[in-house]
C-alpha cells in the first residue's frame, strides 16, 4: 500500500519497502527493496530477494567468495534516528543528540505546531514529523526544496508542509499561489499557522526573528531555538531576540562523548615485581641455555655425527596476568575491577543552541 509511510511500524521486509541496511556502526545505507536487485558491499553482494519475507532486524549472511568465512548485514526498519545516520547529505544536518534535546526543551508533543527553517537535508524534519502535530518547514534553495518535497512525499509524512521561501526577507506567512505543499481547503487568503515552537537553522537567524510574531501562537508560551556554529552568531541572535521581546534566553552546547565501561585486571605490586624478576631469571637462563647449546654443537662436530638433543626452554614460571595467553574479560581465575574510559573526542558538537520564550498576549481574558 503506497499510502503507508515507510516510517510507520511493520514487522516483515516487503518488496518496495524503504529499508536501511546496517553494514557497520557508521555505514548505514538506504535501499528500496526490489527482488531483482543486489546490494553490493566490499564484503560481497546480498540479494534483496534474500531479505524479502524476513522480519526487520534480521541478519543476512553470505559466504565470502573463495574463503570459508561469512559476511553479514542487518536490514533495519527506518526510524528518524537511523534516517539521520543514513540520509543523503545535501547540507550539514542536525544529529539526534541535538534534535532530541531541542524537542524536549521546546516541549514538543503531538499537540505542537512547529516552524523549521531551513529544511536542508530534512534530518530534523523527520524527527519533528514523528513527534509533533504539524511541521511547517521552509527552504529557499530551489533544488533542495524540490528534493525535500519529493522525499517527504515518498516517506509519507502527512503532517509536514514545505514552503519554498527566503524566510529572512519574506517571513513565514503562507499565501495562496506561494510555492508550497500547503493545501488551502477554504477561501482563506493565507494559512493559519499559530506555531508554538520554532527552530531556526539559518546563517542569519537574527533577520528571521522579527518576522516570527506574524505566525506564532498569541495565547501560549512559544519557544524558539536557534542553531548556530559561531559564538558571534549567538551574540547577534540574542540581541535580536531581546529586541523582539523574547525572554528566558539561554545558550546550551551539547557535547556527546562515549563512556566505555569495562573490567580491568587487578594487578598487585608484588605480583608485578615477581613477574619482572621471573622475566629477568628466564633471560639469564636463556643465555646459559644458548651457551650450552653452542658447546653441544661444537662437541657434535668433533664427534662427527651423533647429534645431541636441543635443550627445550622451560615454561614460564610466574605469570599471574595471563600474558601471552588469551584471557577473557571477567575470567574467574583473575581478579577484576570495573573501570570507565571517556572518549577524548567530542562526537556530537555541531552548534550552539540558543533558546528563548515569548508570550504574545500576556493579558488573561476572563
Ligand atoms: N536542519 C537541517 C537538517 O537537519 O537537515 C539542515 C539545515 S541546513 C544547515 C540550512 C538550510 O537553510 C540550507 O538548506 C539553506 O539553503 C537554508 N537557508 C539558508 N538561509 C535561508 C533562508 N533565508 N530562508 C530559507 N532557507 C534558508
Q: Find how far residue 263's CA is from the centre of its chain.
A: 26
Residue 138 Cβ < 6 Å to ligand 1: yes
Query: Does residue 194's CB lie within 6 angstroms of at least one atom of ligand 1?
Result: no
Average pLDDT (23-37) is 93
Residue whose CB lies within 8 A of the most ligand 1 atoms, among 98, 119, 179, for a mutation test: 119
- Strand pairing of 18-24 and 259-265? unpaired
pLDDT score at 334: 86
pLDDT at 308 over 70: no
Instruction: Check residue 347 and give its pLDDT.
Output: 63
What local confidence, expressed as pLDDT, does residue 344 receive?
Answer: 74
Q: Which of 146, 157, 202 to mutate to test the pocket of ligand 1 (most atoms within 8 A of CB)?
A: 202
Which of 118, 121, 137, 152 has most ligand 1 atoms within 8 Å of its beta carbon, as the pocket-test mutant? 118
Look at residue 139 and tell me whether its pLDDT is greater than 70. Answer: yes
Give pLDDT, residue 81.
95
pLDDT on residue 2: 46
Q: Which residues of 278-299 are buried (b: 16+ CB within 10 A; e: fewer)?
A: eeeebeeeeeebeeeeeeeeee
Tell me the average pLDDT across 182-200. 93
The whole-angstrom separation of Cα 139 and Cα 299 is 90
Does ipTM exceed 0.90? yes
The answer, as to whether pTM is greater than 0.90, is no
Cα(239) to centroid(ligand 1), Å: 21
Give the span between the Cα atoms of 126 and 134, in whole angstroms.
12
- Compute the mean pLDDT over every residue in the chain, rounded to the nearest whole number: 89
Evaluate: CB of 105 within 6 angstroms of ligand 1: no
| Ligand 1 within 6 A of CB of 126 | no
Beta-carbon contacts of residue 243 (< 8 Å; ≥ 6 apart): 210
Give per-residue pLDDT as tens, 40-67.
988 889 999 999 999 999 999 998 766 7
Give the model's pLDDT for residue 63: 84
Residue 123 Cβ inside 6 Å of ligand 1? The answer reads: yes
Cα–Cα distance, 309 to 295 (Å, whole number): 12
pLDDT at 348: 63
User: What is residue 9's predicted lDDT score, i.e. its pLDDT?
Assistant: 87
Amino acid at each position: 500500500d503506497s499510502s503507508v509511510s515507510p516510517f510507520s511500524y511493520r514487522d516483515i521486509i516487503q518488496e518496495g519497502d524503504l529499508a536501511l541496511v546496517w553494514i557497520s556502526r557508521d555505514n548505514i545505507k538506504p535501499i528500496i527493496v526490489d527482488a531483482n536487485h543486489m546490494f553490493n558491499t566490499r564484503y560481497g553482494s546480498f540479494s534483496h530477494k534474500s531479505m524479502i519475507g524476513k522480519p526487520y532486524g534480521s541478519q543476512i549472511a553470505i559466504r565470502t567468495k573463495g574463503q570459508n568465512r561469512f559476511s553479514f548485514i542487518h536490514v533495519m526498519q527506518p526510524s528518524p534516528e537511523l534516517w539521520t545516520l543514513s540520509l543523503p547529505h545535501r547540507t550539514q544536518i542536525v544529529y539526534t543528540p541535538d534534535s532530541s534535546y531541542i524537542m524536549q526543551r521546546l516541549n514538543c508533543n503531538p499537540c505542537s505546531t512547529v516552524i523549521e527553517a531551513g529544511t536542508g537535508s530534512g534530518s530534523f524534519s523527520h524527527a519533528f514529523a514523528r513527534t509533533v502535530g504539524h511541521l511547517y518547514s521552509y527552504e529557499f534553495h530551489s533544488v533542495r526544496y524540490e528534493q525535500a518535497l519529493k522525499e517527504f512525499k515518498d516517506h509519507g509524512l502527512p503532517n509536514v508542509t514545505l514552503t519554498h521561501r527566503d524566510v529572512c526577507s519574506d517571513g513565514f506567512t503562507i499565501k495562496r499561489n506561494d510555492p508550497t505543499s500547503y493545501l488551502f481547503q477554504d477561501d482563506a487568503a493565507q494559512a493559519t499557522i499559530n506555531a508554538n515552537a520554532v527552530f531556526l537553522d539559518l546563517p542569519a537567524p537574527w533577520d528571521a526573528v522579527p518576522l516570527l510574531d506574524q505566525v506564532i501562537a498569541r495565547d501560549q508560551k512559544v519557544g524558539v531555538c536557534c542553531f548556530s556554529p559561531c559564538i558571534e552568531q549567538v551574540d547577534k541572535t540574542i540581541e535580536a531576540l531581546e529586541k523582539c521581546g523574547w525572554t528566558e534566553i539561554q545558550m546550551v552546547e551539547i557535547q556527546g562523548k562515549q563512556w566505555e565501561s569495562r573490567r580491568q585486571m587487578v594487578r598487585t605490586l608484588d605480583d608485578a615485581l615477581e613477574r619482572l624478576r621471573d622475566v629477568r631469571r628466564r633471560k639469564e637462563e636463556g643465555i646459559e641455555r644458548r651457551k650450552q647449546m653452542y658447546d653441544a654443537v661444537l662437541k657434535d662436530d668433533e664427534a662427527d655425527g651423533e647429534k645431541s638433543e636441543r635443550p627445550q626452554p622451560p615454561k614460564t614460571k610466574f605469570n599471574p596476568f595471563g600474558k601471552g595467553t588469551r584471557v577473557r574479560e571477567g575470567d574467574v581465575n583473575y581478579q577484576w575491577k570495573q573501570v570507565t574510559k571517556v572518549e577524548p573526542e567530542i562526537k556530537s558538537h555541531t552548534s550552539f543552541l540558543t533558546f528563548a520564550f515569548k508570550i504574545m498576549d500576556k493579558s488573561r481574558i476572563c
